[in-house]
Copies of this chain bind each other. A is one copy, B any other.
Amino acid sequence: MAESAGVRREQARRTREGVLEAAAAVFVAQGVQAPVREIAHRAEVGVGTVYRHFPTRADLVTAVYRHQIDACAELAPRLLAACDTPSTALHRWTGAFVDFLVTKHGLGAALGSEDPGLENLHAVMVDTLVPACAELLGACVDAGEVRADVTAYTLMRAVGNLCITGPDYDQADARRMVDLLLTGCRTTS
């Protein structure tokens, strides 16, 4: 009986993972507003199953990107330790952030969206990434490399917005614009 419960739990976990994978794929293809049916179909489960695991769309979006958000946050201190200067670390970190956002079709837009259905995701990203960004930014400011009047939150929103790509404004464009923005943040010597 205890075992059967464990087996069932394991099944549920696998179902959950399957939904997450399907959602990730569908989000890339159609954006985070894709029909739930589409995701359920791709995961080969019923729509009810999606709703059981993720009651709101934001829960699903958040869960889909949580791993990567966490990984992105954890990257900050590692880069700070590994790079010669804080600003190098900041540049590389934003580079990683851009790559993350751009490859998730619609995530940049979701970040900046006021859609109440996405505020949950918004909160997660802010809570997780802003401190990471703030750590890098603070180090840069302390080192006199970056102006002190830029907040981590504002910078992240700006970077997030710059990552809203399209046919005529692609990942490379986004990277260059973010680089220019960071360059503009340098203290003018």
Contact = CB atoms under 8 A, between A and B. Distances in A.
Given A184-B179, A184-B182, A173 B154 contact: yes
Interface in A160-189: 161-164, 166-169, 173, 176-177, 179-185
Interface string A106-143: 00010011100000000000000000000000000000
A163 B157 CA distance: 10
A182 B109 CA distance: 22
A54 interface: no
A114 to B, nearest CB: 5
Interface residues of A, number: 29
A109 B114 CA distance: 12
Interface of A: 109, 112-114, 149-150, 153-155, 157-158, 161-164, 166-169, 173, 176-177, 179-185
13 contacts: A112-B166, A114-B166, A114-B167, A150-B180, A155-B177, A157-B166, A157-B168, A157-B173, A158-B162, A158-B173, A158-B177, A182-B184, A183-B184
